[in-house]
Structure 1
Amino acid sequence: MSHTIITICAIPLDLMAPMICWRRELHAKEMILKFFDNFESKDKMVEHKGKVSALGTKCSHYGAPLEKGTLCNGRVRCPWHGACFNVETGDIEDFPGLDSIPSYEVHINDGEVRIKGSRALLTANKRTRNMVKRDPENNTTFVVVGGGGCGASAVETLRSEGFTGRLLMITNENYIPYDRPKLSKVMDFSAEKLALRSEKFYKEFDIEILLGTSLDGINTEKKELYLSTGEKESYDKVLIATGGSPRKLGCSGEELQGVFYVRSPEDSNAINNAATEKNVVVVGTSFIGMETAGFLADKATSVTVIGMTNAPFERSLGSAIGARIQSFFEEKGVKFINNAAVSEILGNDGNVSEVKINNGDVLQADVVVVGVGVLPCTNFLKGTNVGITQRGFVPVNEYMETNIPDVYCGGDIASFPLFLQENNLVNIGHWQVHLGENYSLLANVLEELCVNSISAVAWSAMFKKSLNTNGFGTFDDVIISGDLENLSFIAYYCSGSRVVAVASLMKDPAAANYAEMLLQERWLTKDQVLEDPITPKYSMSLKLSC
């Protein structure tokens, strides 16, 4: 679906722009480009269901061009990672990202379309959501435990939706919330460069943050939290989003210097510094391992990846795509050892020197990076009356509420109902999911009966190519449309008669289209994909209700 786009010049403070176009030129789902001399900004005119709106053209997340996205039901969705914005207000309605995009006042007189706004607004690519501050007369305390995607989104969403009580974030990190997905994508970024907001931002909106502090226990009857500092905090409502800790290999030698896990900016920076002109062994062939290998490929002397499957990403993307991605990495100099596991890490003077594989082979290694999954950080809940599964996850309802009133869970530790899985409980460790869980949470906190339909978007950056996925679940068939050899394709993951996920490379906005379909709680079927007459044989057959 295309949109109507107009490029306009920046104008003086609060003045009307020259005529942008004629009203008759704007037609729903058509794209019109008009160029003017001496431009300083680009803005998008959208006609949707008879109403004309003017918006910024770039997604507030990573700056993707929204004209290449999806327009449906009053929303425009980013073609890259699926962030979604209201076409009238520019407000963000689905994630990733935290910011909204600019929207402008539209005037139509005698068929002439003009917009009004300030120079600052017209040249901005994003804007902070409107937020309230604390009201001293509101004695309600909401505590958010965790500074990851779920926690960072929660405190902002609470303030933007009108919560004026005390708002406290407690995090075991030493930094204010940062863009965690970049840890394995750009390993030379400092925590300051990764920060989602400034300290000034949190102070401005009266969001208290306790850094370097863990939650050791909770008493839900007294509504008290017991902290690693020995202090306690009382709450009226609490969101627990304590995240995960890296899964260990469980072999001897993993305590040696030079063995790393990717969980913090310090980890990423240390790996980047240690790997230069060294022999690197990466254990794990999913997102963390593969992104790390890709980032280090041109820095290290050698990079070897060890995986337990036949090919990278085999469990999540299928064997054919996994094999092609492996060959793509091999073209860049990365080596692979599949169907293998690490049996021992050997050292010299306390430092890593070799990695022994379960087939008896030994690899020279100066640096070992382990990316074999995470475990939920919920040990502090054992022995409490908060429900927890044998695997350590916390079951929640559609409002992210646990079995205990006023206790919510989100992020890596939550197991929540998902439409794609017939509303059975699932755990999804995706950043975008964690950001979006909070609209469901607010249904209880602010007593607004709404449930957010969560879609599961993930993305991976590999040698300047971006793989985008959407959906969740096991699959028994993969239908690939496009040119896999040239890494330009859409893959449809089928379970029985239904498509439960899509993955795309160089085929945006396929994943965004699928996200929009899921938002409408509509299924794409295997037959719809197979019967599509467009060449190549298989193509997106979305029937969006817009």
Structure 2
Amino acid sequence: MATEQVEAIVCDVDDLKSGEMKEVDVGGAGTALLVRDGDNFYAMGPKCSHYGAPLIKGVLCNGRVRCPWHGACFNIKSGDIEEFPGLDSVPSYKVEVSDGKVKVRADKAALTNVKRQKAMCQSSPGNKGVLIIGGGPSSVACAETLRQEGFQGDITIISRDKYLPYDRIKLSKAMDIKPDAIALRNADFYQSNDITVKTNKEVKAVNTSDKTVKFVDDSSSSYDSLLIATGGQPRVLPIPGVDLKNVFSLRTPDDANAIAAAATGKNVVIIGSSFIGLEVASYMHDKAASVHVLCRGQCPLEHVFGKRVGQVFTKLHEDKGVKFHFEAGIKEFVGVDGAVTEAILSTGVRIPADVAILGVGVVPATSFLKDSGIEMTDRGFIPVNENMATNVKDVYAAGDIVEFPLFSVGGKSVNIQHWQMAHAHGRNAAYSILGKPSPIRSVPYFWTVMYGKSVRYTGYGPGYDDIVVHGDLEDNKFVAFYTKGDEVVAVASLNFDPIVSQAAEMFQAGKTITKQEIQSDPKSWVTRSDPKSWVTRL
């Protein structure tokens, strides 16, 4: 079918220097992001395919643009997504340079689309099959990568959830959201790309000797290659009253919807000041009668951000009426007629509680592997190599359940439970299944959103020995550098974009940001590099 094309002269050649970007109007039909790299010009969609962030405010480096919000990267030549989160690429458009003018030619419909799906092949009888256990981003990224790279065997995703794979991290931010609204892909996508998704199906055991997986319903499936990406399951506290009605854990859309309905106009107690707990508090603050948060330390998220930045989260919530109980845990839930009415803290304080939410972390959902021969740690995590391979041939693992070698810390084995990293694991597992392994080389990048404010973080901070902060913590505009010795190992910011994405590109390139150079100026390092390999937009 013929498509309507539009073309327009968008600027003069001299309007852009190498390493610069500019949003341009293409004949009134839409906007493109124009990029100059050396003497070459490229045009692509101007918005990130993940949440629509303006890429013009991101970072241009080594032939790709990194999103300023969540770190996704797109190839400037093709628009293909090269780093996550998100599954879609962005459109790319033809560029011609003649007589000192730059002309962009594009499909008119493509100019109005933020997202572009990469082409995928179909299955063909007689090929080997891949079985994927788990319904999260690792699973979907693996399945899509296999089809994008020409794999024609059967692909089956097994999920114990009753919904198609969805954006789980939205559940604590928009608790009344419906599963269809956060589905990573719809049913038509899986069907048209020959990817089978079986929901409401739980694995009971894996037999790696005969390459079979047995399910709780006593059915079984065989595999040629297996990916395990089951994620975590909420930790349950062994305390009196935890089984009372309206004591919740948050894992599924049904959980989120039930909490939202039960908590409206009620007294809510959140046990734990994790990201999930704080995001739930942010959602609940103007819907519940009261919101209390129990925090084991002296401020929320102290173990991740340190006390000074952790106190920013304290103030954000207290300004909205949320009450913290520091250095306190839960001792007991008390109820009437089988429903919770009160929480008794470890300090002896008693709080009215119509609804209680357990935000005390997760444990890896790997107990079904106990007799499989697949190596696991004492805590239930699965060690994998840089290609996401386990100790058993043709068995791979990805996402929150793995410990993997992180290139940016010298290959140290780490567990990183980030949405972005789970995508990357799934892609790399697919490459290994295809017989063309590509060692994992993704930089950790995560974010949290509370009261419309988003804190971003990149790097690997555990073990830091100092924090250098620039900006104004009281005014919610700052960047924090986490240092170990004389090296910056992680960067966090609020209202300081795109500095976290700039740092991610430095870490990605294997370059070091030193403590000395950020002591007096938070941006002094940004231009310290070969301009051919490191270009930024400030």
Matches within 5 A, 1:115-134: 115-134=104-123
Q: Which of 307, 317, 334 is equivalent to 1:329?
A: 317
What does 1:165-176 align with in structure 2 at a 5 Å threshold? Answer: 165-176=153-164
Letter in 1 for 2:182: L
CA-to-aligned-CA distance 1:352-391 (integer Å, 9 cap, x gap): 1000011111000000011111000111111221101101
Secondary structure, in 3 states, of the residue corresponding to 2:457?
Answer: strand
Residue in structure 1 matched with residue 184 of structure 2 by the alignment: 196
Q: Does the aligned pair in 1 maintain the 2:23–2:31 contact within 8 Å?
A: no
Q: What's the secondary structure of 1:523's corresponding residue?
A: coil
Pick from 462, 468, 481: which aligns with 2:450?
462
**Counterpart in the other structure of 1:215:** 203
Partner of 1:8: none
Query: What is the one-letter code of the residue matched to 1:460?
Result: T
Query: Does structure 2 retain, via aligned residues, the 8 Å contact 1:105–1:116?
Result: yes
1:373 aligns with 2:353: no
Q: Is the contact made by 1:487 and 1:506 (CA closer than 8 Å) also made in structure 2?
A: yes
Partner of 1:85: 74
Q: Deviations over 1:15-34 (max 9, x none)?
A: 34122222232322335455
**What is the 5 A alignment of 1:419-430?**
419-430=407-418
Distance 1:71 1:33 in 2: 14
Whether the aligned pair in 1 keeps the contact of 2:41 and 2:95 (CA below 8 Å) is yes
Report the counterpart of residue 525 of structure 2 in structure 1: 541
Aligned to 1:264: 252
Structure 1 pair 410/449, CA: closer, same or farther in 2 (3 Å)? closer
Q: Please point out which of 15, 37, 54 is paired with 1:25.
A: 15
**1:415: which partner in 2?**
403
CA distance in 2, matches of 1:16, 1:148: 39
Contact 2:7–2:26, Cα closer than 8 Å, also in 1? no
1:116-161: per-residue Cα shift (whole Å, max 9, x none)? 2221111111111221111224x20011110111112111111112
| Structure 2 length-normalised TM | 0.95
| Contact 2:6–2:29 under 8 Å retained in 1 | no
- Separation (CA, whole Å) in 2 of partners of 1:36 and 1:443: 37
Conserved? CA contact 2:206–2:372, under 8 Å:
yes
Match of 1:225 in 2: 213
Question: How many residues of Structure 1 are paired with residues of Structure 2 in the alignment?
Answer: 528
Aligned to 1:511: 500
2:33 to 44, 47, 51: 44
List per-residue Cα deviations over 1:145-186 (Å, max 9, x = no partner): 101111121111111122111100001010111111101011
Deviates more, 1:286-295 or 1:418-427: 418-427
Residue 299 of structure 2 is matched in structure 1 by 311
Aligned partner of 1:239 among 220, 227, 233? 227
Q: Secondary structure at the match of 1:79?
A: coil
The percent of aligned pairs where both chains have the same amino acid is 42
For 1:369, what is the secondary structure of its paired residue?
Answer: strand
Gaps of 5+ in 1: 1-11
Q: 1:496 aligns with which of 482, 485, 496?
A: 485
Report what 2:5 is aligned to.
15
CA contact (8 A) 1:82 1:512 kept: yes
Shift of 1:276: 0.5
1:55-204 to 2 correspondence within 5 Å?
55-137=44-126, 139-204=127-192
Q: Deviations over 1:293-316 (max 9, x none)?
A: 000000000001001010011000
- On the 8 A contact 2:375/2:390 being kept in 1, the answer is yes
**Counterpart residue number, 1:3:** none
For residues 196 and 111 of structure 2, the distance between their equivalents in structure 1, rounded to whole angstroms, comes to 32
Map Cα deviations across residues 206-240 of structure 1 (whole Å, 9 max, x no partner): 00011011111111111111112211111110100
Q: Shift of residue 107 of structure 1?
A: 1.8
SS in 1 for 2:242: coil
TM-fit CA distance, 1:449: 4.1
Letter in structure 2 aligned against 1:455: V
In the aligned structure 1, how far is the partner of 2:232 from the partner of 2:137?
12
Supply the AA of the counterpart residue of 2:525.
S
Q: Amino acid of the residue matched to residue 272 of structure 1?
A: A
Distance in 2 between residues matched to 1:539 and 1:74, nearest whole Å: 22
Residue 302 in structure 1 maps to residue 297 in structure 2: no
Aligned-residue CA RMSD in angstroms? 1.6
Q: Which amino acid aligns with 2:206?
A: I
| Structure 2: 5+ residue stretches without partners | none
Instruction: Determine if the alignment matches structure 1 residue 364 to structure 2 residue 352.
Output: yes
Equivalent-residue separation in structure 2 for 1:443 and 1:170 (angstroms): 20
Residue type of the partner of 1:422?
Answer: G
Corresponding residue for 2:466?
Answer: 477
Task: Tell me how far 1:200 sits from its aligned partner.
Answer: 0.2
Q: Residues of 2 paired with 1:406 and 1:309: CA distance?
A: 43
Deviation, structure 1 residue 345: 0.6
- Cα distance in 2 for residues equivalent to 1:393 and 1:413: 5
Correspondence list, 1:442-457, <5 A: 442-457=430-445
Aligned: 1:53 with 2:16: no
Report the alpha carbon displacement of residue 450 of structure 1 after superposing the two structures with TM: 2.3
Does the 8 Å CA contact 1:481/1:539 hold for their aligned counterparts?
A: no
SS of the equivalent of 1:432 reads helix
Distance 1:33 1:101 in 2: 15
Query: Contact (CA 8 Å) 1:497, 1:525: kept in 2 or not?
Result: yes
Given that 2:71 and 2:85 are in contact with CA atoms closer than 8 Å, whether structure 1 keeps it comes out as: yes
Q: Which residue of 2 aligns with 1:339?
A: 327
Cα gap change, 1:34/1:207 in structure 2, threshold over 3 Å: closer, same or farther? closer
**What amino acid does structure 1 have at the position aligned with 2:492?**
A
Give how far 1:113 is off.
Answer: 1.8
Q: What letter corresponds to residue 206 of structure 1 in structure 2? A: D
For the residues of structure 2 that align with 1:35 and 1:259, how far apart are their CA atoms?
53
C-alpha distance in 1 between matches for 2:471 and 2:120: 45
Contact 1:416 1:427 in 2 (8 A): yes
